[in-house]
Amino acid sequence: MNNMKDMAPGAGAPPSGHIEIFDTTLRDGAQGEGISFSAQDKLAIAGALDELGVSWIEAGNPGSNPKDVDFFKSAKKLRLENARLCAFGSTRKKGVRAEDDEQLSSLLSADTEFVVVFGKASTLHVKEVLKASLDENLAMISETIQFLRREGRTVFFDAEHFFDGFARNRDYALKSIVTAAEAGAVRIILCDTNGGSFPGAVAEGTHAAADCLADCRAAPPLGIHAHNDSGLAIACSIAAVEAGCVQVQGTLLGFGERCGNTCLAALIPSLQCKMGLRCLPNGKLPRLTEISRRVAEIVNCTLSDDMPYIGTHAFSHKAGMHADAILKARSSFEHIDPALVGNGRRFLMSEQGGRAAIAERVGRLTEGVGKSHPAISALSRRLKALEAGGWAFDGADASFEILAYKELGLYKSAFDIIAYRVQSEHPAGKLMECCHAWVKVLVNGQYEIAAAEGDGPVNALDGALRRSLLRFYPELARMRLSDYKVRVIDGKHATAAKVRVLVESTDGVSAWTTVGVSADIIDASRLALVDSIEYYLQRVKQSAISPISQTNFSP
């Protein structure tokens, strides 16, 4: 393949105004601390990324571990509609022919049409890490790419440490990518591997690379692969796109080696909504929030609330003046319409909020409740009194919704706790957990008593409460506690201080948060747990989720 016309379908330069999204969650993301994928996890994530409409999925390094080998075998059954899988590996080893290199054999065994190989673009790494000559490194790049092409593969070349190498020895860094292009690579990816470059340096290096490759017989498109060690991965990626890169690499949620990779969930909307560049197929961008949260659930990681565009804080408004302005003109305090990325606006209920924000929130629950409705004033006073006592509803929308229903006289409890007891024993016996709880509940005139053991008192109480209710509400089997936070409200009272408990729950698709406050940490936990279950049962009872709930749940 000596020119662009010879490239495999889908490997040619994208149309003007299009940016290829290359996701490396399954490869570079797996190198993040605390991240571990099973083969089934990787298949599920690949499916989710394909639903989102990314162009390429870098699925792993078959030469590095048996798990990736197993994944590529299973991945042959995937029916991807939008994305193409890529296997990842390095250039041949020093002093070894490409045909005899075991790592390259493993790369071929993945049986993907597209492969990504990385090679050194920095004289420091060639001399000090590879312990090779500069000419030998160029031969490793060229011979590896030519070998893979002879085996029928379409090759992307990652110029590792390109920007650091460009700063150290400009001519050699450029020579490395020219070598890859002339060998037949169809994409040249400029890598800020250490994540220390500034956007200006990335722009300069990208312009130089584009100018240099323009003189090649085949001028492959450029891509950018940035790390976030300086907190500038997104800025550097945008700078590279402005300088001519048509492919952006990163991980959907930003996790990866050290401080992570470019966060695609934050970058894609900026490119598509603000720069007018098409990154995803039509109709896919509004699914960004939903799919990002699904991937976070598969990975078992917490999606940061303050993540741009898709976080729960991204379009949250607490100050009364802000809320009032938003209701009059959306663009007054929102840089885009949250619906574009599948997120929702939230007005946080607190003593800092005004009646207009409260009325707007309550108006979504029931019709006919305006700013002048008596319940709004009453709810505002109730909210301020509770917050003076340590409650906080700005991070617990589900508890606020229940509070609002109660104030409107529209709330009917699904159950009542008649009594409960929690005990702790240390050390725990061999046949039992250290904590035990029993609960007596009343549901529609019927009593039920249940007990449970747990790793801690709250875990035991949660288990007993669910067990007592399952006979009446079997749908609770789908719900679980996903996060639990405790905050001491006033340390002046030491161990007698009030505590605030926040409980986040999920049914595997959606998540919601409730709050409880008490001088007794178990009772504060009970209050939050009860709200969480009541809120879920209310959602299940309704044929559709109310608009207020949509702001807290995946669309």
Q: Contact 104/98 with Cβ under 8 angstroms?
A: yes
Give the residue with greater pLDDT, 473 vs 407.
473
Q: 391 vs 319, 381, 510, 516, 541, CA distance in Å?
A: 17, 13, 24, 7, 27
Give the residue with greater pLDDT, 220 vs 490.
220
Q: 157 vs 114, 127, 160, 186, CA distance in Å?
A: 11, 20, 9, 8
Residue 362 confidence (pLDDT): 76
* Percentage of the residues of the chain whose pLDDT score is greater than 70: 86
Q: How confident is the model at residue 550 (pLDDT cuts 50, 70, 90)?
A: very low
- Please report where in the chains the tokens 């729960």 appear, as a residue: 312
Other CB atoms within 10 Å distance of the CB of residue 386: 19
Predicted confidence (pLDDT) per residue in 274-302, tens digit: 999 999 999 999 999 999 989 988 888 87
Residue 433 confidence (pLDDT): 63
Output DSSP code: residue 227: B
* Percentage of the residues of the chain whose pLDDT score is greater than 90: 63
- Please report where in the chains the tokens 């305090």 appear, as a residue: 333
Domain-wise residue ranges, the chain: 18-280, 316-389, 416-550
1.10.287.3510, 3.30.110.60, 3.65.10.10, 3.30.160.270: which CATH number matches 416-550? 3.30.160.270
Mean pLDDT of 264-268: 98
Q: Is the pLDDT of residue 448 over 60?
A: yes
SS3 of residue 317 by DSSP: strand
Among the ranges given (23-32, 82-91, 223-232, 357-366), the one the predictor scored with the smallest mean pLDDT:
357-366
Q: Is the pLDDT of residue 126 over 90?
A: yes
Count of helices and strands (H, E) across the chain: 18, 16
Residue 554 confidence (pLDDT): 29
Q: How far apart are CA 308 and CA 202, in angstroms?
A: 23
Q: How far apart are CA 159 and CA 192, in angstroms?
A: 9
Name, in order, each residue with C-beta under 8 angstroms of 108's C-beta and a sequence gap of 6 or more: 148, 151, 153
Mean pLDDT of 370-374: 69
Predicted confidence (pLDDT) per residue in 507-549, tens digit: 888 889 999 999 999 999 999 999 999 999 988 876 333 433 3
Give the residue with greater pLDDT, 454 vs 261.
261
Q: How confident is the model at residue 97 (pLDDT cuts 50, 70, 90)?
A: very high
3.40.50.261, 1.10.510.10, 3.20.20.70, 3.40.190.10: which CATH number matches 18-280? 3.20.20.70
The token pair at 268 is 């894609």
Residue 321 confidence (pLDDT): 64
Angle between helix axes 397-407 and 374-388 (nearest 10 degrees) is 130
Q: Is the pLDDT of residue 483 over 70?
A: yes
Give the residue with greater pLDDT, 39 vs 133.
133
CB crowding 440-477: b at 16 or more within 10 Å, else e: bbebeeeebebebbbeebbbbbbbbbbbbbeeebeebe
AA identity, residue 137: N
- Please report where in the chains the tokens 């209920």 appear, as a residue: 349
Give the residue with greater pLDDT, 555 vs 176.
176
Residue 7 confidence (pLDDT): 39
Q: How confident is the model at residue 427 (pLDDT cuts 50, 70, 90)?
A: low
Residue 217 confidence (pLDDT): 77
AA identity, residue 423: Q
HSE (side-chain half, CA atoms, 13 Å) at 530: 19
Residue 350 confidence (pLDDT): 52
Q: How far apart are CA 527 and CA 514, in angstroms?
A: 9
Q: How far apart are CA 433 and CA 452, in angstroms?
A: 9
Tell me what the pLDDT averaged over the chain comes to. Answer: 87
Q: 46 vs 78, 83, 280, 525, 534, CA distance in Å?
A: 9, 9, 16, 37, 35
Residue 410 confidence (pLDDT): 80
Positions of E strands within 280-371: 316-317, 346-347
Predicted confidence (pLDDT) per residue in 319-343, tens digit: 556 556 666 666 677 889 999 999 8
Residue 285 confidence (pLDDT): 97
Residue 53 confidence (pLDDT): 97
DSSP 3-state percent helix, strand, coil across the chain (nearest 5) = 45, 20, 40
Q: How confident is the model at residue 491 (pLDDT cuts 50, 70, 90)?
A: low
